[in-house]
Amino acid sequence: MALTVRNGYILRQKNDNVSNVPLLEPALNIIEKYKEHPVCVSKNRLLPMKSNQRLNTYLKELADICGITKPLTTHIARHTFATTVLLTNGVSLEATSKMLGHKSIKTTQIYGKIVESRVGAEMDQLSEKLFSPKNEDTKKAQ
């Protein structure tokens, strides 16, 4: 998979699919930090990691040091990003699907199950919009 960062977006090409996804500032800062690293320059990579397997080994070591007993892998990080960071914070399923590079939104629905607390929060937002005193005044004015 080819990756390029341009103007705060990552251009990702996998097979015939090209996607352009915005990155958060901390990710851009990390990429900037390593852009001149010898491995990144010689291998045309964004980060100086040889493989996901090597990164997963480092993550396991860090988890052990920190006393984290749950598995910690790049796949779990991706899943956590989709559910806890994106969906729980109100990012749409469609945008989440695009950010993850899924061809089908069905993949995203399986991969990032809607968090129950998000469903409740959305119902609260709907209730606020429909039944709040502020909205009652607006309805009367119409």
Give phi and psi for 21, each to the nearest 5.
-120, 130
Give phi and psi for 67, each to the nearest 5.
75, 20
- Give the single-character DSSP code of 87: G
Q: What is the pTM of this model?
A: 0.66
How distant is the alpha carbon of residue 135 from its chain centre? 34
pLDDT band for position 72 (cuts 50, 70, 90): very high
How do residues 13-64 score in pLDDT, each as one tens digit? 776 777 788 888 999 999 999 999 999 999 888 889 888 899 999 999 999 9
**DSSP-derived secondary structure for 3-23:** EEEETTEEEEEETTEEEEEE-
